[in-house]
Structure 1
């Protein structure tokens, strides 16, 4: 434990202090420096005063009861995402004497949870001006807020200076690194005002190299299994297969993965299964089918090993409990169900990829086709973890370049567009930091997309987008087709099935997280059928921002939202909360806020009664959505009208009166989603329509109904004003 072993006599001398009760003073010890002159003894008048003081034998006092009580209050308000109440409590003058850096950290985390990181910035600024130290935990919470807001450049600007700190206690820790890497997963690489690309694999690789250097120089904790999982996923997403394989081998060496797999930790085998699955996707997209098959085999093997460990009760949560950590039985059971479901999904997808690619020959001449798909079937406007429209617009406004320029950057730096371009002879150097406008034009021209698919106002030219993907000439363009959108498409399996079932329609899969956008693109490219889907485009954007800025009015036939994520499970749908929202009060941050729903209405067609179809398994969230529609109806009476589903055998659950005689109430129905509301019919063998649907059916969702589905359908009023 110690670097030096003390004898009993030495140990006694350490605490052999003068007996002050008898007023006896020891003789000063004579010390001589290099000059030969005598130095003052420790108890002489000119000696160091701190050495004359008797050690403080009192135990270090912890936070006062008042400080602990304030912490508990702030944490509870943070969990409930009640930022206003938390700020009121934090700045209360009665707390001036007890308010400290720990409370500031809770508040910064609260502002991050609520999507208002500017509040956290202000708290840190005031903390700094007062001369107080901003600790690593608080800076980590700030990074968390930035990545949730899609401001990955600001997150990087906090992390990089932390790596240069001299004090070890001020250096980033594992949680700091993982927070930034998780943000890189959510936010695709983008170009900012300073003409520097940040986010995605660009920032993650920079952070990885810096942190590994700190591990070597300062003996920090090595990256954990989550760090490797995030890093490998990003490399695979960018089609950097060589670097991905090297990082996987590094993971194996770090965690002692050898030929004997029986003693491996469950979380390690789970991460290896995910890593090989990501590698299989990358090789399949690149048409390297032999290596894709090998990666699939590894993904399946590690998934089976991990499931066996799970069935034997070997989980990370169980280990925490054995060490005395407070893990409840219900949480342990829920986590076990979630992990089992996740592993089944890995195994199923790996088997599907293996079946598709094992019967195909490697194709080395698909570079131009792949480059076109990356530019036409994968559009990333913005990304992150926020559902706050204002914050998304703020983050977007920092990018001082055209919309088309941003789309090319995301595809090039985040999703591997540079790989097929090299085969086409379009290269800009290994260490390129940013693409110039002429570089983007050269890329578009190399695949026959001169001018791009965005007009001068920022709107997407969907006819050109889908026609260009088919390779048809202008004279042979397809007729005007029906366009449908899924908001919050997750991993994309629902919308992929829709596109396969209805090839006469075009689909947009809109998702905020960049990693899920990439997975949807992979599904449409390699998982859907032998040939890639040409009627599906995977879009990375905040839903409200996309509908407002990039989709023309009265263009969309149907907008679907399946199993949307609630603002917080502890928000509740009490009548007082709902009445306040219906009357125009503050709304919690979530995707289906009134601004997004109004933007959706304006994109729906009037002539064919464009519809907004919402399916949720969360009863209280359904009530919140209905209350939001009532709010809209009171402010804009002619925008929406409810659709009667009773004739389709849906059972009415609750009606929400608008409050005026000439307006129909908003109604929430109960029933299974099907063809009556536009969903493709499920096969008998289907266990659910999407990843999240299957997850809830497995019983891993404690706040959701496992059998019931709640449906809300609203149509565009023909007399509505745009």
Structure 2
């Protein structure tokens, strides 16, 4: 369409035209095309603006390339522009996704040089990273500065001149306005500003409470939880939003904000319960080193060159892998002092000589001990898998997630639950399942609420970010245990979603592969037989919530489940198959 408009219609593309095309490249993970388009813009004299650079930063976030993101952020300065708060926050999101506190700190410390004021989003993101790294003192100091408003500059300085928009009742630039905001002038969006400020401080205090709890400082955790409760806004009614200035705002955006408030409350209850169990002696204080020894943090980078299945790793490559996994725990998970070397030794034992994962060593099992090993892919915050592990202690459970902030949430749930049969893994599932998971080592793979590859409704739409494709299903098949005798249970695959159309597409893909077969006697979470289904080329697509025969030991809502239920998406569908 772009080529036709230019070559046939003779139209001259504007920066907005380029921005739309750039966004299409970025949203599909086609960063080489996005980079080429940026060069083309320069060549034809349509210099990329801050919006274009921010779009590129979003792309590097999606593929988790923090080095390229840093070069892009600096590229704004090199082109005689200044990054705005949206660009800086997008870059810090890249760091959050990769768990890179050091690179996030670098940008945060330079914001004053760039004349950018940290806003609510900046503080939430940095607070999250500091908590993940167990930098409690640094996070506490940041909270104090935020409460005092030390980050504010021009808006609190009368000498910078009055803001005319503020005087009229509403300034869209917020903390990054260059003019004075007189607090005596009531704003039309005052309620919205108060909500955002309170939500930010509540989020930071909850992060501090969490870091304190898993560090064993229960008194400080309770203190931070009390402060979070003071700031956490109650459910915001539609009437309050109308009065508060959100009348014309996107309802979906407010649904997202309200869901996040609900998630904060759930997190507070989870931490409170954990602290109470510790104080009452019902649960022993967490041994972080043991949990860290079971946590494998691979690279979050997408589109790494994937080797052939079964390709051998050299001894040098295996040693480098072990070193990188250990370094990741120190750099991103708060491992500060491994003085006796126990964590390092444990990580070395978990990785076999061929580079595959020794799951028996991960959970401290003997090789002869026959236990189920279940893996949840794209696990979100890990609520579902933790619930399964607590319900069924006879099996081992792993949650595998790409985004590092979610990996840390999974890790924290493992620590707080005290479950010794549960572990967190981070990284690109397409690479990990192919490279590091040995053939026939997994009992069941679960995918809950997978993200559709496109939103257009066009099944032929291309998106290289899509995980559930033919190659990935073949890798799952290779990882699943084989049934050698009539008493053996073959490895299984269960996919659970609210998206009917996407599930139909996945059923067609699985049918064409012809490497899985139907599972007998599928039931629902209610215990009833699953008798409502449609058959798509031989694959059954069930309606409802899967039960124990499909591997779901207990029904547990995930974050995505709660989010879509809040949006009145209540229909559920699942596919349950076994290895042929």
Conserved 8 A contact 2:388-2:554: no
Conserved 8 A contact 1:619-1:710: yes
Conserved 8 A contact 1:266-1:315: no
- Which residue does 2:234 correspond to in 1? 307
Question: Secondary structure at the residue paired with 2:126?
Answer: helix
- Which residue does 1:466 correspond to in 2? 363
- Give the superposition deviation at 1:361: 5.5
- Give the superposition deviation at 1:411: 1.1
- Which residue does 2:482 correspond to in 1? 606
Q: Equivalent residues in 2 for 1:619-658 (5 A)?
A: 619-633=500-514, 639-645=515-521, 649-657=529-537
State which of 187, 202, 221 in structure 2 corresponds to 1:273. 202
- Give the superposition deviation at 1:124: 1.4
Q: Equivalent residues in 2 for 1:58-97 (5 A)?
A: 88-89=3-4, 92-94=6-8, 97=11
1:171 equivalenced with 2:82 (yes/no): yes
1:185 equivalenced with 2:103 (yes/no): no
The normalised TM-score by structure 2 is: 0.82
Any unmatched runs of 5+ in structure 2?
A: 157-182, 184-189, 308-312, 484-488
- Which residue does 2:435 correspond to in 1? 549
- Which residue does 2:178 correspond to in 1? none
State which of 476, 484, 496 in structure 1 corresponds to 2:386. 496
- Which residue does 2:413 correspond to in 1? 523
Conserved 8 A contact 1:266-1:314: no
- Which residue does 2:186 correspond to in 1? none
1:140 equivalenced with 2:54 (yes/no): yes
Q: Equivalent residues in 2 for 1:201-350 (5 A)?
A: 201-215=101-115, 220=116, 222-254=117-149, 265-303=194-232, 306-307=233-234, 310-311=236-237, 313-315=239-241, 319=245, 321=247, 327=249, 331-332=250-251, 334-350=252-268
- Which residue does 1:713 correspond to in 2? 576
- Which residue does 2:170 correspond to in 1? none
Any unmatched runs of 5+ in structure 1?
A: 1-85, 189-199, 425-442, 634-638, 658-664, 683-687, 718-722
RMSD over aligned CA atoms reads 3.3
Question: Secondary structure at the residue paired with 1:121?
Answer: helix
State which of 534, 541, 566 in structure 2 corresponds to 1:668. 541
1:379 equivalenced with 2:296 (yes/no): yes
The 1:669/1:126 distance shift into structure 2, 3 A limit, reads: same
The 1:336/1:154 distance shift into structure 2, 3 A limit, reads: closer
CA distance in 2, matches of 1:709, 1:246: 45
CA distance in 2, matches of 1:448, 1:603: 26
CA distance in 2, matches of 1:210, 1:94: 46
Deviations for 1:410-429, whole angstroms, at most 9, x for unmatched residues? Answer: 211111112x44xx4xxxxx
- Which residue does 2:559 correspond to in 1? 691
Question: Secondary structure at the residue paired with 2:374?
Answer: strand
Q: How many residues align?
A: 525
Question: Secondary structure at the residue paired with 1:506?
Answer: strand
CA distance in 2, matches of 1:87, 1:145: 20
CA distance in 1, matches of 2:103, 2:205: 22
- Which residue does 2:456 correspond to in 1? 570
Q: Pick the structure with greater CA Rg.
A: 1
CA distance in 2, matches of 1:604, 1:557: 6
- Give the superposition deviation at 1:630: 2.7
Conserved 8 A contact 2:216-2:286: no
Deviations for 1:362-389, whole angstroms, at most 9, x for unmatched residues? Answer: 99xx999423422x232111226x6xx5
CA distance in 2, matches of 1:392, 1:138: 30
Question: Secondary structure at the residue paired with 1:402?
Answer: helix
Deviations for 1:523-554, whole angstroms, at most 9, x for unmatched residues? Answer: 1101x2xxx22111111112221110110011
Deviations for 1:656-712, whole angstroms, at most 9, x for unmatched residues? Answer: 22xxxxxxx112111222223121234xxxxx52222222223x26xx4x1x32111
- Which residue does 1:114 correspond to in 2? 28
Question: Secondary structure at the residue paired with 1:213?
Answer: coil
- Give the superposition deviation at 1:444: 4.4
- Which residue does 1:678 correspond to in 2? 551
The normalised TM-score by structure 1 is: 0.67
Conserved 8 A contact 1:237-1:414: yes
Conserved 8 A contact 1:454-1:461: yes
Conserved 8 A contact 1:372-1:447: no
Q: Could you list the runs of 4 or more consecutive aligned residues of structure 1 that deviate by over 6 angstroms after TM superposition?
A: 261-264
CA distance in 2, matches of 1:233, 1:136: 26
CA distance in 1, matches of 2:18, 2:104: 27
The 1:109/1:519 distance shift into structure 2, 3 A limit, reads: same
- Which residue does 1:54 correspond to in 2? none
The 1:104/1:311 distance shift into structure 2, 3 A limit, reads: same
State which of 371, 380, 383 in structure 2 corresponds to 1:481. 371
